[in-house]
Chains A and B, each alone.
Chain A
Amino acid sequence: MSTTDYLIEVSVTISIIFLILFFIYYKYNSAKSEMDSVAEKNDYVDTGSYFRDKFGGKTKEIGIKPFLLNDSKSIGIRYIITSIIFFFIAGTFGVIMRVSLVEPTPTLFLNRTVIYDVLTTQHGILMIYMWALGSALGFSYYLLPSFLKVKKDSMGGYSSAAYWIYLLGAIFIVLSRSSTRWYFYPPLSINLNPYNAGSFNWLAVLGMEMIFVGVVIAAIVVIKMIIMDRDDSIKIEQMPIFAWAVLFTLIMLVASAPFFMLGLAMTFYDFFNPIFFVSSSSSPLSFAEMFWIWGHPIVYIAVLPQFGLIYEIMPKFTGNKVYSYASGVLALGLLMPLSELVWGHHLLNSGFGIEWGLFFATASFVVVIPSAITVFNYIATLWTSTKIRMTVPMLFVVNGIFDFIIGGITGVIQSNLALNEVLHGTYWVTGHFHFIFLGITTGIGFATIYMLFPSLTNGRKYNVRLAYWHFTLTAIGSFIMSMGWTVGGFYGMPRFVAGYFARFQAFQDTAILGGVIVGVAQLFFLANIFVTYSKKPSISTNNALEDAYNLPAVDGGE
């Protein structure tokens, strides 16, 4: 067949496809305008919500329906489902890479140590952006309309689009098999070969950018929901602390994300024409600084909503109010500006000099004040309570406070300049943030999921025995793992290595024990899903977290 014949065939085929597409679009459009007029007759601004209310009804439970509707509850469930799925994917990576470290020389990935790097990169990115950030957004979308008695469910279309962009970005990152850490620093990340960033790291950069676009849109929608869509009966000074926490978190997110988004865009340009972050024109450290201006707030974004959730969960089981509402809000509010001032402590030994070093060290000390007020508030609430019901969510909360105290203290210690030179880049840092991420982010995340369980599963109650095992093993395992790292890191055990000096084997093996226990613990949660769904649902689908609030009268309006 000659080229001309081929071209003619292709163009005819494409024309037919486009004719069919146009016909479908025409049918769709005429049907839509008809539906619009019907919806308008029934006093609805948005056609989608009219049909949702007319035929589908509201949804609160896990299933396929939330993916087709775009009210806040559905969007929240989407984010919760996605975050749980990615938690398990990234958790599997974490356990496998931990197991591969059983010997000082790589055993599981002998001669293929790049797989260790790939797993670590994926574990970090997915856990932070999909689990921590995803679950925080999910809880915000799910809980805030009830907490704030939102007048109308707004901007569902935008939220839905943001969710799909976010999900697609995450899929791109998984597909890219990038091995550049969540750091993405350019001299490494623009070397597209298996020895540096992985051959398809450009896809990861693209995916990262999409995650940011999705998250920032969602953040703005939620901020608007908190500030503008509150019911008139809820004054801003009486908002639930969770709403405050989410508000501060998302303002912080919107304020600091552009630095890294810009950095990623410049990195993407550097793939084709390296001019921005190469040593001939600029310092690779300029990217590092752009990254950490975002990279430090993101770790607060991963804990602040959970702090707010603790304030919501705790009174349900202690029977009294939060000890001091004002200081709780003040502390969370203080964390917002302070977290933007301490990014330099991630780069203390890069040649800043002593003046900047002292500034960032002191700023890092100041962060302790709001954290200490928060912890004080929790402890005082527990202290003044007459009777504490130690159910599974409450156990997660108590363990979270305990882990946060240890993680917080290890965090302050490493901001001392002299100690930082020993601890920077070692497993001490990993231990520090795993204490907090496992205790607060993961623990409170699961506590909230257990609290919401009846609603999410259409009126089923979780199996308490399995949930109790889930908690116990998570708490013990995470403590053993993080402790092994923290102590080993104090002796200089380096992070992010596929092999290590034989003198560190005891610490690594301790951490492997803990890591495997944490991994097994999550299987109890998985088993709980199956056990729960094999039972018949009860009638009430209300959950303990929202029962004080009237369920929202959400209707109409885009």
Chain B
Amino acid sequence: MNQKYKVEIIWIIAVLAVLFASMGINFYVTGMKSFSIATKETPGEHLNGTIIQVTGVQWSWSFEINGVKSVDNFTLIVNHTYTMVVDSLPVGTGQAVIHDLLIPQFGIQVYAVPGQNNTITFTPDKTGTFIFECVEYCGYDHYKMRGYFSVVK
């Protein structure tokens, strides 16, 4: 085996080691309890936690928690589990478009797809005021689909 092959194989093995490590981390993290990923709700599936009905329209988010509806802001209680059910509704007679709700500080992101309820479960573990925003281009005032929500004791 000449020098060139040796170097190349060492390099590939090093790359593979790094990749396997990150792959392992990926599988480990996604297996953890606290991890949640947006899933398509199937009927009859058990939703744990208080349900937040999130509706994206052009161009605002509305949140309905325990029957109380609010537009572009909401309040959560710390260390309480919530399940977001996210949908997109049309405006007037138009067609509903896709939105994407991102809460960067809690690492939550879920698409609002018309005709499909995506769910995500999370537990806010710190109090304060946080931001949420739409990160899927949805028309004229896309940048205005954002706001603050607060987590209280």
- Within the complex, are A and B direct neighbours (CB within 8 Å)? yes
How many Å from the CB of A159 to the closest CB on chain B? 35
Given contacts A354-B39, A424-B109, contact A492 B114 (CB under 8 A): no
Give the residues from 327 to 382 in chain A that come closer than 8 angstroms, CB to CB, to chain B. Answer: 327, 347-354, 357-358, 361-362, 365-366, 368-369, 372-373, 376, 380
Tell me whether A188 and B118 are in contact (CB under 8 A): no
Q: Chain B residues with Cβ under 8 A from A421's Cβ?
A: 37, 107-109
Q: Chain B residues with Cβ under 8 A from A372's Cβ?
A: 11-12, 15
Q: Chain A residues with Cβ under 8 A from B142's Cβ?
A: 117, 496-498
Mark each residue of chain B from 21 to 38: 1 if its CB lies under 8 Å from any CB of chain A, else 0.
Answer: 011011101100001011
Tell me whether A283 and B115 are in contact (CB under 8 A): yes
A278 CB contact (under 8 Å) in B27, B95, B105, B118: B95
A492 CB contact (under 8 Å) in B7, B37, B133, B144: B133
- Determine whether A517 belongs to the interface, using a CB cutoff of 8 Å to chain B: no
How many Å from the CB of B119 to the closest CB on chain A? 8
Q: Of the listed stretches A191-199, A227-235, A397-405, name the one at the interface; the rest are far from the partner chain.
A: A191-199
Mark each residue of chain B from 122 to 153: 1 if its CB lies under 8 Å from any CB of chain A, else 0.
Answer: 00000000010111111111111010000000
- Determine whether A125 belongs to the interface, using a CB cutoff of 8 Å to chain B: no
- Determine whether B111 belongs to the interface, using a CB cutoff of 8 Å to chain A: yes
- Determine whether A422 belongs to the interface, using a CB cutoff of 8 Å to chain B: yes
Tell me whether A190 and B95 are in contact (CB under 8 A): yes
CA distance A45 to B99 in the complex (A): 58
List 18 additional contacts besides A179-B140, A285-B98; criterion CB under 8 Å: A114-B140, A194-B140, A278-B95, A283-B116, A284-B115, A350-B38, A352-B40, A353-B37, A365-B19, A369-B19, A373-B15, A416-B22, A418-B30, A418-B107, A421-B109, A424-B100, A494-B134, A503-B131
A residues bordering B, Cβ < 8 Å? 106, 113-114, 117, 179-181, 183, 185, 187-188, 190-191, 194-196, 274, 278-280, 283-285, 288, 323-324, 327, 347-354, 357-358, 361-362, 365-366, 368-369, 372-373, 376, 380, 412, 416-418, 420-422, 424-426, 491-492, 494-501, 503
Q: Top 7 closest A-B pairs, CB basis?
A: A492-B104, A279-B115, A425-B135, A497-B143, A351-B40, A279-B114, A350-B111
B residues bordering A, Cβ < 8 Å? 4, 7-8, 11-12, 15-16, 19, 22-23, 25-27, 29-30, 35, 37-40, 58, 94-98, 100, 102, 104-105, 107-111, 113-116, 118, 131, 133-144, 146
